[in-house]
Amino acid sequence: MVRRSAILLLMAGQRAEEERRFEEYLGLLGKAIGHADRTGPLRAYLTGLLLAGERKSVEPMAAKVDPRHVSMRHQSMHHFVANAPWDERAVIAVARDYALAQLERHGPVAAGVVNDSGFPKKGTHSVGVARQYRGPMGKQDNCQVAVTLSLVNSSMSVPCAYRLYLPEAWTKVGPKIVSAVAPPRFPRRLVSRPNRNWLWREGTKGSMHSRFALTRVRPAHRDHLRVVPRAPESLLIEWPHGEPEPTRYWLSTLPPDTALAELVRLAKIRWRIERDFQELKDEIGLDHYEGRGWRGLHHHGALGIAAYAFLAAERARLPPSTACLPVPGSPTQRLLPARSRPCVLNGTTPLPSPPFESATRACSPRPCAPAPGAATLQAPKSFYDTVVLEAVS
């Protein structure tokens, strides 16, 4: 009985500390929004996003936050998100800095990842709606697409930019000629040399691993406008065992001597973004906004990112060995998978694998040491999927 009472007191103290940090966080966001009259709606909106519920649009959140004055609370929150002229970029900047302070306790930022996130829509009047590619479905759908930039390491990610993509039909600049770009095809001799199977992380269904090849190429893009040829870049190729040909390609401007293990780790770090955005949608309601306007959509997205940044920072305060054991009943608990396991930094390890058909020697089964300089990587924009970035003068 004494032990149970002590545990309850400890949990109560931790919840009180979490509430104190939430109040401080609201104060920082309030300064970014810049008007004292908006503090109340800000608190109500963030609280509504953090509370449990299947729908995180304005009316259901108002009913949960203030059940005795639903109409008044709904009007206040709706005006705050849809019409009030505050800068969503300033709010995201505060959320980014707040979460980064905890993210970097588990390791430095490894990369900046550009991601697209689709929001399905039934009508055609919401800003940016069109039939366009939606990642989870793997095909075109009637939806909005938001483009985000996230800072990420192997433990967590922090969204730091959020913008709606406007299809051509919404830009009203007249017809354009767009050339289709087919997936790149490379001679088999580039990827048929001996290789190894690389493991980059543990998944819920076992180890995530595949075969990779690395070579140097010189990208070509509008070269008829250039006088000097482009500098060579590294080409990372993924060819899973059993596939008739490679399935994915990455171009890298990192130094030529960058270890293959480090390139694989950076290429596959995107899984963290996909997982975190799934939580943003399922737990925070990033795609639940029911308004049609540009301002409201971006305000809702910024507040969703702010709510998620607080929960991510709370989760990151725990040491890695206890990161999956939050305080029962705390809001942080909802964002942790039931079977989550601590991530291992720089955990890219080669596994023995059969060579490609034309290989003449077996693959080395020796474990690979962490890539030199991995902990101090300072090139978040140097790694991207089959895209060549051009410098703008």
In a domain, 130, yes or no: no
CB 146 within 8 A of CB 152: no
pLDDT at 45: 95
DSSP codes joined into one string, 222-274: SGGG-SSPPPPEEEEEE--TT-SS--EEEEE-S-TT--HHHHHHHHTTHHHHH
Q: 229 in a domain, yes or no?
A: yes
CA dihedral 316, 162, 306, 122 (to 10 degrees): -110
3-state secondary structure of 152: strand
Six token digits for residue 161: 């930019």
Highest mean pLDDT (candidates 1-5, 101-105, 135-139, 198-202): 101-105
Alpha helices in the chain (DSSP H): 2-33, 39-50, 58-65, 70-82, 88-103, 168-171, 260-267, 270-279, 294-316
CB 285 within 8 A of CB 304: yes
Could you give the C-alpha distances from 280 to 13, 61, 158, 352, 388, in angstroms and in order?
28, 16, 11, 37, 30
Question: How far is Cα 17 from Cα 38, in angstroms, rounded to an integer?
Answer: 25
Give the Cα separation of 177 and 161 in Å (integer). Answer: 29
Phi and psi, residue 337, nearest 5°:
-60, 150
Number of domains in the chain: 1
Residue labelled with tokens 């690395």:
214
Report pLDDT for 196. 66
Q: Is 114 helix (H, G, I), strand (E, B) or coil?
A: strand
Q: Average the pLDDT over 24-37 and give the result.
A: 92
Assess if residue 27 is contained within a domain.
no
Torsion sign (Cα): 127, 128, 134, 135? negative
> Does the residue 259 lie in any domain?
yes
* Residues linked to residue 250 through DSSP beta bridges, in sequence order: 236
Spacing of C-alpha 143 from chain mean position? 19
> Where residue 93 falls among pLDDT bands split at 50, 70, 90?
very high
Q: How far is CA 141 from CA 59, 144, 171, 183, in A?
A: 27, 9, 19, 21
Q: Give pTM, 2 decimals.
A: 0.69
* Confidence tier at 372 by pLDDT (50, 70, 90): very low
Give backbone dihedrals phi and psi of 119, rounded to 5 degrees, phi first: -120, 110
The answer to whether position 221 is within a domain reads yes
| Positive or negative torsion for Cα 18, 21, 26, 29 | negative
Structure confidence at residue 82 (pLDDT): 93
Tokens 């998944």 label which residue?
A: 203
**Residue 387: pLDDT over 70:** no
Domain residue limits at 357: 188-270+341-384
375 assigned to some structural domain: yes
**Between 289 and 3, the higher pLDDT residue:** 289
In a domain, 214, yes or no: yes
